[in-house]
Amino acid sequence: MTEQPNSPQLYLITPVGAAASTIGPLLAEVMDRFPVACVRIPGAGSEEELGRLADITREIAHARDVAVVIEDHIELAQRHGLDGVHLTDGARSVRYARKELGPDAIVGAYCGNSRHDGMNAAEAGADYISFGPCRTTALGHGQVAEHDLFQWWSEMIEAPVVAEGALTPALIGQLAPVCDFIALGLEIWAADDPVEALGLLWR
């Protein structure tokens, strides 16, 4: 899939609240089996546990030339040698994060289903914009990022766009032509065999 022109790249989100002691081997297996472009660490949990998770994720990902970002924790990104942050407040913190992390860091912004917020984040210097969830789910605020939003963005805006949240094989197939990245997390980690689950989604 990722070898064809205009195909999106795989953006992997680690399990929310994962223990560093258990995620390492599984993360390595997934990354050895699939061409991951970026790994994101959710920001939930104690700073101590997030630090341990950041270290082991960085070690595994950087050994495979894969970037790592963490949600919202700018200081943790700096302290643990991560590649940047994924901001969950849309455009509001983009300029501050860029100032703190410098021009070479990755600064991504999650903008729900708001075209306006996405444009503001891109103008403020975000490296990518993330929209989602892509279908109705208990997660988030229940406002779905429709296919038309991704279609419009891919035609009008240069900043790369990420689709995330409640993705299915059918949705991935529909979104692939209009997205730069497909973010998968809960879709695979909730399964008994995450590697097998990812194989069914990413083919």
SS (H, E, C) 159-192: CCEEEECCCCHHHHHHHHHHCCEEEECHHHHCCC
Length of the chain: 203
CATH number for the domain spanning 127: value is 3.20.20.70
153 DSSP 8-state letter: H
pTM score above 0.85: yes
Q: Which two tokens stand for residue 6?
A: 């205009």
pLDDT in tens, the chain (203 residues): 334 446 999 999 999 988 888 899 999 999 999 999 999 999 998 999 999 999 999 999 999 999 999 999 999 999 999 999 999 999 999 999 999 999 999 999 999 999 999 999 999 999 999 999 999 876 556 689 999 999 999 999 999 999 999 999 999 999 999 999 999 999 999 899 999 999 999 98
Domain-embedded: residue 1: no
Domain assignment present for residue 92? The answer is yes
Number of domains in the chain: 1
Domain that holds residue 138: 9-201
Q: Is residue 119 part of a domain?
A: yes
